[in-house]
Amino acid sequence: MKLFISVIFMAGLGVRMTKGDPLLIVENLKAYYPSKKGLIRAVDDVSFIIREGECVGLLGESGSGKSSMALSIMGLFERVARFAAGASSDPELRKAFDKGLQGEVDKPGLSGKVSFRGKELTKMPQEELIKIRGKEISLIPQGLGHALNPQHSIGHQTAEPIEVHEEEVRLLELKKKVLEYLGVVQLADAGLRFVLDPGCFSGGESQRILIAMALIAGPYLVIADEPTSALDVTMQREILNVLRMIKEEFDVSLLLISHDAGVIAELADRVAVMYAGKILESGAAVQMFHNPQHPYTMGLMSSFPTIAMMQIKAGKKPRLRGIPGDPPDLANIPSGCPFHPRCRYVIDLCKEKIPEDREVEPDHHIRCHRWGEISEE
């Protein structure tokens, strides 16, 4: 079933742009929040673009700032960070959020620019953002356990994005649309089970329901935050198939966030590799998986057997090696290049100076002092 196949078309009040046009532009984004340990630099001077119709994979280990990036785009960062930092119950942290940390050069909060379809989201008041969130940009959140409300039927919850954004919807039409989208994500017996509450559904089924909720209002951009991480291997495969079908048959762009390079390799057209709040390398997926050039990307790609298999098929000789050590604490990021304590190519300069973001070829960015000098051994 091809739902949308035209390159340019009218959708409700919005006009889709041409495939390949910039849809979301993130420029020098910083998202910091205070904690008892100090300032957490969750997103630290990040820039990237998502174009119409493409899937960008955001890859990185846990705690690299990927979910904070998703929340920043959705305009939810401050609200969630306040809660996560315990700022609602701790007067000191609340003060730090409101005024900035004493003695810190940087302040908690969001800075930089996020533009979506020509509108600057970072300057938009929450009343305006609410009209975009769930309708033009939607989120498939991480963590199935608390993503669905246990007290409402899944039919009711799937309908919610439409009820929130459209003033007059007839009940019959709404039910038809809910069943249509639960059908799109292949929820078994949706016509009989849409009146049940989330407790009656498995993890894989709950993920399908969340995908239907993210799609039902016809968004331009869907952010899928670790959509397979809570699932077993068989279910992961099924959810990836659903996401692939959405990518191919809906005219929607995807930001796919995962710590698993195998998941990103399945769907992404371009990949951005995140570490300690920064994007260390970004470029076309083929380039990133077959010929990674940043030492961290090289390490990541040598950590996943699925990527090694991909490289073997492409006639390369991969080596499963992994990366020594652990990702840094975001409240205590190493000086210079944040990857230097784990990097096999480190030199003195790396410990002193943060590498600049360089466009080393069209659409291929790297932050490494030694780019061009090193290659994978």
Binding site for ligand SF4 (CB under 6 A): 295, 337, 339-340, 343, 345-346, 350, 355, 368-370
Beta carbon of residue 367, minimum distance to ligand SF4 (angstroms, whole number): 7
Beta carbon of residue 314, minimum distance to ligand SF4 (angstroms, whole number): 24
CB 208 within 8 A of CB 186: yes
Cβ proximity to ligand SF4: between 55 and 368 the closer is: 368
Query: Nearest CA to 57 among 216, 208, 272, 361?
Result: 272
Query: What distance in Å separates the CA atoms of residue 210 and residue 214, rounded to the nearest whole number?
Result: 6
| CB neighbours of residue 336 within 10 Å | 18
Which amino acid appears at position 102 of this protein?
Q
Beta carbon of residue 139, minimum distance to ligand SF4 (angstroms, whole number): 31
Beta carbon of residue 176, minimum distance to ligand SF4 (angstroms, whole number): 53
Cβ proximity to ligand SF4: between 142 and 291 the closer is: 291
Cβ proximity to ligand SF4: between 214 and 343 the closer is: 343
Beta carbon of residue 241, minimum distance to ligand SF4 (angstroms, whole number): 35
Beta carbon of residue 180, minimum distance to ligand SF4 (angstroms, whole number): 48
Cβ proximity to ligand SF4: between 179 and 346 the closer is: 346
Strands of the sheet with 358-361, listed across from one edge: 137-140, 221-225, 253-258, 55-59, 270-275, 278-284, 364-366, 358-361
Cβ proximity to ligand SF4: between 21 and 359 the closer is: 359
- Give the DSSP per-residue string, 306-355: HHHHHHHHTT---------S-PPPTTSPPSSSTTGGG-TT--HHHHHSPP
Strands 270-275 and 253-258 turn out to be unpaired
Beta carbon of residue 344, minimum distance to ligand SF4 (angstroms, whole number): 8
Question: What's the burial of 207, exposed, middle or buried (CB within 10 Å: 0-12/13-18/19+)?
Answer: buried
Cβ proximity to ligand SF4: between 217 and 368 the closer is: 368
Cβ proximity to ligand SF4: between 108 and 336 the closer is: 336
Residue 253 forms beta bridges with which residues?
Answer: 221
